[in-house]
Structure 1
Amino acid sequence: MIVPITGNVTYSITLDPTVWIFDDRKILFEEAFTEKVSQKEPEDELKKAAERWGKEYYHHQHIDPPVNKSISRFEGEKILKNSYVMPIKNFLDNAEIHSDSKEATIVTKDGDVTISIHDLQNSYFLFSLNGKPLKEDGPVHLYYTNGSNKEDPIKNVSKVIIN
């Protein structure tokens, strides 16, 4: 149930979608393809530069992802009923894709799929369907944020290789 991101990156990372249910960055599947979510404000360039410097300087330290500190009973019940996606961009930023990379290979049980880095950065991983992990055709499905493959996502994703 893990998804490695490897290849032409500074840091190979391993994703564990089973813990994302408690991550504040998750998005309800029903809301994922609305403009409100897709059209996020660009971050301040100075903040980005500071984060890059801090990441390079402190890359050996463990940095915790944003996690819900406490979940009410209502929120817990909601989590166990809904479907969620996770934006991939944050993880790709942490892996630090090399600037000469143009595409990525999505490894699946059904065969490899090649997509552009741009499309990969503008994608979601579906990791929870009706409150349950994707055991049959998972661990994740890849959806483009524009919804163009909403009816036919890339399923059985087991690895991402940056070319």
Structure 2
Amino acid sequence: MERIINITGKVKYPITLDPSVWIFDDRRLDLTTHFSTEKDNTDSTEAYTKAVSKHWDREIMEGAVFPPTLKTERIYEKQKMLTGTFGILFKPFLKNSEPESTARALVIETEDDNYELPLNEAYELILGFSDKGKQLSADGPVHVYFGDGSNQQNPIKKVTSFIVK
């Protein structure tokens, strides 16, 4: 089975996706909790700026403090990576491909069927790439989940490519 997925069609830049490397991506989402937690609609840049600003202010007032549990946190994070079920947002990949202004839909091609959805809904998709620490080899390389989690129990499987129309 091919592990590489392409984004092609009415895009300025065709993109090649390799889900096997996403386990190291900081943008990964824990799919066991993602759909059950309440969504936060704040701007990520604004949240980051506030967090860095707060940290900077604390360092100015108190001096730099290094966390004593850094080593145990790394061990926990490694264990989580080896046993977790993860996905990643499709939005950054679709955005980087720069769909043309005439593009209206995304076709998800699978080994069995094709699924078409409006382009504005495609930005909300989540690509599942890991189940309990293992790659999705039997019905992967990715599972496609809708942003609202409505197909969480029955995601789109055996994806071969994405075509912007």
Structure 1-normalised TM-score? 0.78
- Give, in angstroms, the shift of residue 36 of structure 1: 3.0
* Deviation for aligned residue 1:35: 2.7
- Residue 35 of structure 1 is matched in structure 2 by 38
- Aligned to 1:116, which of 107, 115, 118? 118
CA distance in 1, matches of 2:86, 2:42: 18
Structure 1 residues 43 and 99 mapped into 2: Cα distance closer, same or farther (>3 Å)? farther
* Cα distance in structure 1, aligned partners of 2:38 and 2:11: 30
Q: CA RMSD in A?
A: 1.7
Greater fraction helix: 2
Q: Note the C-alpha offset of 1:150.
A: 1.0
Does structure 1 residue 99 correspond to structure 2 residue 101? yes
* Aligned residue pair count: 136
Aligned: 1:159 with 2:161: yes
Q: State the SS of the aligned residue for 1:35.
A: coil
Give the Å deviation of 1:40.
4.3
Q: What 5-or-longer segments of structure 1 have no aligned partner? A: 45-70
Deviations 1:32-66 (A, max 9, x none): 223335x342768xxxxxxxxxxxxxxxxxxxxxx
Q: 2:149: which partner in 1?
A: 147
CA distance in 2, matches of 1:108, 1:98: 23
> Given the superposition, is the C-alpha separation of residues 40 and 117 from structure 1 closer, same or farther in structure 2, using an over 3 Å criterion?
farther
- The alignment's TM-score, normalised by the length of structure 2, stands at 0.77
**Counterpart of 1:133?**
135
Q: Structure 2 counterpart of 1:135, which letter?
A: S
**2:3 maps to 1:5:** no
CA 1:81–1:92 in structure 2 vs 1: closer, same or farther (change >3 Å)? same
Q: Using the aligned pairs only, state the percent identity.
A: 39
